[in-house]
Homo-oligomer: A and B are copies of this chain.
Amino acid sequence: MPAHRTARERARAELTAEIKDEARRQLADKGANGLSLRAVARELGMVSSALYRYFPSRDELLTALIVDAYNVLGDTLDKASAGGGSPAERWRAAANALRTWAHTHPHEYALLYGTPVPGYRAPHDTIAPGGRVPGAFLRIAHDAWHAGGAATDDQLDETLRGQARTIAEALGLGDLPDAVVLRAVDAWTQLFGTVALEFTGQFANTLDPADAYFARAVELQLRTAGLG
C-alpha cells in the first residue's frame, strides 16, 4: 500500500476496504446469495447508491472477495506446507489445511469452488490467485523431485506435454519434468475431489464423518504424486 497523496484518495482506499470487510462478514454469515449491497451500505451507515462509487456492481464486489479469498487460502496453504518435514509430511499438512479451511470458511469455499455459473466466473483477475492453490501442492512435488529426483518415463501425448509446460512455467517451476507435473496434478484432482464431495454433502449417510476416508485419500495422493 503506497502512501496516498490526497485525503480523498486515502478516504477512498479506506472506505473500499471497509466495504469489502463488511461484505466479507456478510458473506461468511449468509453466503454469497445472501450478500446484499443494500445491507452492506446500511451497516456502514451509508446509502446504497453511494456504494456504486466504489464497486460498479455486485458481481465486481464478489470478484474482489473471490480474489481475496484465493489469496487467504493460498497463504494458508503456503504456511501449512512451509513447516519442515518430508515432502509427504508437507503434502499431508497442506491437504489437511485445505480441508480445514473449507470447513471453517464454508461460504468462501463455496464462492471459490461452488456454482460456477458458466460465463460469469473466471474474470481474468481471479485466474492468477486461483492458481496459487494447486500451486502450493505442485511446489511440494517440485521440492521432492529436486531432492530425490526419481526417474520418470511416462508416455505422454504432445498436448499434455505442452499443458504441463504451461503449468510448470506459470509457477516458476520450469525445470520440473512433464511427467512429474502431471502426476502432481493427478494427486491434486484427487484431493480436490475428496474435499468437494465431502463439502457438497455427497458423503451424507455414507462416508460422513469423512476424517478416516480423507486420511486414506491423502495417502493415495502421496502415492500418485510419487511422494510415498
Seen from chain A, the residues whose Cβ lies within 8 Å of a Cβ on chain B are 31-33, 106-107, 110-111, 113-118, 121-122, 127, 130-131, 134, 157, 159-160, 163, 166-167, 170, 182, 185-186, 189-194, 196-197, 199-202, 204-207, 211-213, 216-217, 220, 224
Number of copies of this protein chain within its complex: 2
Q: How far is the CA of A90 from the CA of B174 in the complex (A)?
A: 38
The interface residues of chain B lying within 8 Å CB-to-CB of A185 are 207, 213
The interface residues of chain B lying within 8 Å CB-to-CB of A117 are 31, 33, 107, 110
Point out the residue from B157, B190, B205 that lies within 8 Å of A189, measured CB to CB: B190
**A166-B130 contact, Cβ under 8 Å, with A31-B117, A193-B196:** no
**A110-B121 contact, Cβ under 8 Å, with A163-B207, A212-B160:** no
Q: How far is the CA of A117 from the CA of B163 in the complex (A)?
A: 33
**A224-B213 contact, Cβ under 8 Å, with A116-B114, A189-B190:** no
**What secondary structure prevails in chain A residues at the interface with B?**
helix
Q: How far is the CA of A117 from the CA of B32 in the complex (A)?
A: 9
The interface residues of chain B lying within 8 Å CB-to-CB of A127 are 204-205
A115 and B110: CB pair below 8 A?
yes
